[in-house]
Amino acid sequence: MNAHDLLWGMAPAQLPADAPAWAVEAISAGHPVVVRRALVAPGHVAVGVRGRLREQRFATVMPLAQVTRRVVPEALGAVVLPRDLPALRALEHLRPLLGQHAWGVAGSAGFELATGIEALHAHSDLDLILRSPERLERGDAQRLLAVLDTAVCAVDLQLQTPFGAVALREWAGRSRRVLLKTCGGAQLVADPWQAVA
């Protein structure tokens, strides 16, 4: 189970009593939840429920035994949807250019590609992930970013290192320290491929 995986099988009864009505609605409608980075009790996974509005995100946990289906971001790169939106056009454009990488689609684009539920709009970014078990040199990061920036909308690619996630845009930049999102929270680190103390 990794951050950005989509999971089906959560039941409304598993939501805490303080869950907002829109979250109960989304789960009742059978929408999947999104795996997030957080430390939780064994046998559970940290997930987020998505609502229709941008500020509608509800963090909770799901028992692993309830998972009936799992879709990983890598499975969504090849999905084609008929809607004409910048994020989907950007995906079409980048698909052949990213071919040999272990990449996938996350965020609203990933959610819509996996479910067919309209989550994207005209101003949505395209959220991508790239599995990066080996260190990506900063020069290579700049070259990859230049490719992504040829797309028709903003593309936010998160490098998934063994220790967390870092934004390609930031790693390609000049900052000495970059933000690494880990299960224990976010940290500023000099090297995202080194274990965080």
Partner 1 sequence: METLSFEFPAGQPPKGRALVGCVGSGDLEVLLEPGTPGTLNIQVQTSVNGAQLRWQHLFERIFQEHTPPALNIDIHDFGATPGVVRLRLEQGFEEIGHD
Residue 186 in contact with partner 1, rule: CB under 8 A: yes
Look up tokens 């395209």; give the residue: 126
179 binds partner 1 (CB under 8 A): yes
* Residue among 25 and 125 whose Cβ is closer to partner 1: 125
Of the pair 81, 154, the CB lying nearest partner 1 is at 154
54 binds partner 1 (CB under 8 A): yes
52 Cβ partners below 8 Å, 6+ apart? 22
Instruction: Tell me, yes or no, if 125 is annotated catalytic.
Output: yes
Interaction between residue 5 and partner 1 (CB under 8 A): no
By beta-carbon proximity to partner 1, the closer residue of 57 and 83 is: 57
What does the block give as tokens for 124? Answer: 């949505």
**Identity of the residue, 67 or 114, whose beta carbon is nearer to partner 1 in the bound complex:** 114
Clarify whether 156 is annotated catalytic: no
Centroid of chain to Cα 82: 22
Residue span 136-165 as binding mask against partner 1, x where in contact by CB under 8 A, dash where not: ------------------x-x-x-------
Choose the catalytic residue: 125, 140, 149, 191: 125
Q: Is 181 in the site for partner 1 (CB under 8 A)?
A: yes
Count of residues of this chain found to bind partner 1 when the rule CB under 8 A is applied: 21
Contact between 125 and partner 1 per CB under 8 A = yes
106: which 2 tokens?
Answer: 């996350």
For residue 145, count other CB atoms closer than 10 A to its CB.
18
Binding site for partner 1 (CB under 8 A): 54-55, 57, 107, 125, 127, 154, 156, 158, 167, 169-170, 173, 175, 177, 179, 181, 185-188
Annotated catalytic residues are 125, 127
